Structure 1
Amino acid sequence: MRVVNRLVVLLLVLAGCATAPLHPPAAPPPAAAPARVVPELRPGIPAGYLGRALPNSLTLLPPPPAKGSPGFAQDQAISRAAQKLRRTPRYALATSDADLRFPHVASAFSCALGVPISQQDTPRLYLLLQRSLVDAGLATYAAKDHYKRTRPFVFYKEATCAPADEAQLRTDGSYPSGHTAISWTWALLLTELSPGQADALLARGRAFGENRLICNAHWQSDVLQGRAVAAGALAMLHANADFNDDMAAARAEINSLRRSGVPASGCDAEAAALKIRIPGVQ
């Protein structure tokens, strides 16, 4: 299917398909059980859990605010306020969050979780994040391709925090935000895995999505509706046996690291950046 193939290529780029194999070796199975085979989009790139059984964002979401409407005026006001944060630590964090390539993005929630997330320390959690990225990201495309909404950096003839991505973003619909759908999916599933860190994880997920405003890549309504897509994707993921198996294994990894006292690193700088809020965004 041509559309699906195009979306797969896009998600491969976002996930860093040019890097070394991303998924970890399968965890050792019980003695009598065969190893589970992880499907791949291409060698070294794990596929999502849902295949084509994704939530339909075009059905799920209302149309984006029309130009000239009060909703679009609000989007414009928030966009202009977000651009005041250039040359701040929050802009640096937004630039980091724009990069969805593994292994870089795997650590985005480490500080909120309180333990390091990496292919070495938490291989099943790492795989869980890779596969759910594909599902949450692709779930935005029914609406993205239908509305083909212009992104704010194109609308205002400005730059983003990731100049190398701008050519691709110009032809990729703004509504809803794929980064937000991915990060909010991660925030929700990590909260299930580690409910004691719920406030920090959900706050980090919200900030990850709002960083797309700071990057000049999305409007606020794109970000808000990205969370709705994430909720739909996660609900459908819970009906998938492989997802649930990986959730159980990831929970065990997190608990083991927490018992061993292995901390996340670089958290003071992240905490300082997150204290900087977008004016007017509650």
Structure 2
Amino acid sequence: MELRQLEYVLAVAEELHFGRAAARLHVTQQSVSEQVRRLERELGGPLFARTSRRVSLTTAGEAFLPEARRVVDAARHALDVGRRAARGATEIRVGYADDLGPRLFGLAVPRVPSLTVTPRPMTTPEQIAALSEHRLDLGLGWTPDVGAGLSSLLVAREPLVVALAEGHPLAGETALDPADLSHRPLAVVPRAVNPLLHDRIIGQLVTCGVTVNVHQEIPSLDRMLPLVLAGSALGITVPSAAAANAVAGVVYRHLSEPSPYIDCRLMWRAGDAGGAVAELVGVVRELRDSGAFLPPDLPGGA
């Protein structure tokens, strides 16, 4: 079994078409078909069911695919490590969830000029998986469930705030009673993007007495704002996202105390206790302790 064969299998599985897989790999379709057949002979059974109209994974293919992906990812990681070492550079791959990149890369990264930082936008669950599989060195996510094998640092605790059209009946309030949100159409982060975050937001609103009506699940505030401006929904967000989305016609309001909140955490593998990871974690910790990551004021001073 060769690494090239695994890469061909992954391409065919993702494209479900031998021709498209070959084009993506910049090889001939005959080469892809031959290498896949060789691997199938070695395994003792087909990975794909082929007809004149479609290609699909067999039961053996579905079982084999996750293991093949892990092997290919590990090989690519080894290659990345070797290349970085050969260049003598200290490179660190940092994932970040929506609305978290600007302050991390604007405040922390410039303080460590010896590091070459590669930013990677990813959802929080994607970051956790990438850290566990050594495809990422650090992650910054919303309300992560890091579990065994990962360490984390609480960077900020942000209260939930509400985005409203400035003409909305609730816009005249300085702070909103959470119960005022009952039965009103809300736009929140999709559960498919971050189940723990979605459930925490909804669960806290329910605890505050809100009868929740999720009108639409939308992954980022900038995509919620058209609904807010049209009066179709109220956006549930946090001050850091609100500060980055000061838009004419939209106002932001805090919820009355005790306000629901979500956590922002920096994550890394528990075994990476030294080197570049520890250096950047230390910088973020110092900035946090100095108040640099405190939630910003809402646009308009509300």
Bigger share in helix = 1
Common fold: TM-score over 0.5: no
Alignment TM-score, normalising by the size of structure 1: 0.26
- Radius of gyration: which is bigger? 2
Bigger share in strand = 2
Alignment TM-score, normalising by the size of structure 2: 0.25
